[in-house]
Chain A
């Protein structure tokens, strides 16, 4: 009975969080999730209603907002993941990808200007040179990189032109998360 009530609380809190945004999640909610979400989450073959889908989305957002990947115990078919395939990035002794890239690029004359973005210090404002990266996967270990050239004035003009002509299309270029 208590378990059922706690589960209902989580559902209600998850709905509130989904509406208010993950930043509003309270300690109470964190505690409720910790106490009730302890086993594997099972996906059945049955059809899923819109409400169930929204609830699942809210719970995932809640978990991602409150727990680091290391805290989330991923299991496979209810069994712990094989100990023979640990993720190399779970080691806290290893420098982060951010730190490694920043240090390597600092040695070749680039400084960090944003998350995963680095500017060539020797470049001029007329032709800025920027390197940027993206880490994908779970955990985020697959790294892609791009080198870009930018004249801010020319780029702003071009973006306005493309947007005017094709306002409902996304630009066909990678925009890294800022």
Chain B
């Protein structure tokens, strides 16, 4: 549904556990946990992201709640290439944003199944953005 996502377990839900054991808590407690996670953590973290520009800024960043190593870094890099092109950023700028995270992208590629490198994937995304995306917004 969303390639770019983060677990609510990082947001204080489920007391830091990856899952909420709903069998051991009441429905009221479950409601409270979810409401708290949204109002205290999710909304303050991403509530202000309302435009493509702020989305690009969020994707380029590497802080909580969605550091690169915990995200779908291949898709994230391609989305940065797309939005960077759309906003008229130079290809070098886009590379500068992505290059520090090549290790994350590479680690998400299973070398037993493909020989594609992170660099090749980023090159392809930037090239595809150049040919398919028309800059519409000047930064």
Contact = CB atoms under 8 A, between A and B. Distances in A.
Contacts of A174: 5
Interface residues of A, number: 60
Nearest to A143: B20
A157 interface: yes
A161 B78 CA distance: 7
Contacts of B3: 148, 150, 155, 158-159, 171, 173
Contact of A127 (B50, B65, B114): B50
Q: Please tell me the size bucket of the interface on B.
A: 35 or more
B109 A166 contact: yes
B75 A162 contact: yes
A42 interface: no
B114 A147 contact: no
A151 B137 CA distance: 16
B55 A161 contact: no
A107 B2 contact: no
Interface in A91-149: 94-95, 97, 100-101, 103-105, 107-108, 110, 114, 117, 122-124, 126-132, 135-136, 139, 141-149
B1 A175 contact: yes
A100 B52 contact: no
A110 B43 CA distance: 11
Interface of B: 1-9, 11, 13-14, 18-24, 27, 30-32, 34-35, 37-39, 42-43, 46-47, 49-52, 54-55, 58, 65, 72-79, 81-83, 108-110, 113-114, 116, 120-121, 124-125, 128-129, 132-133
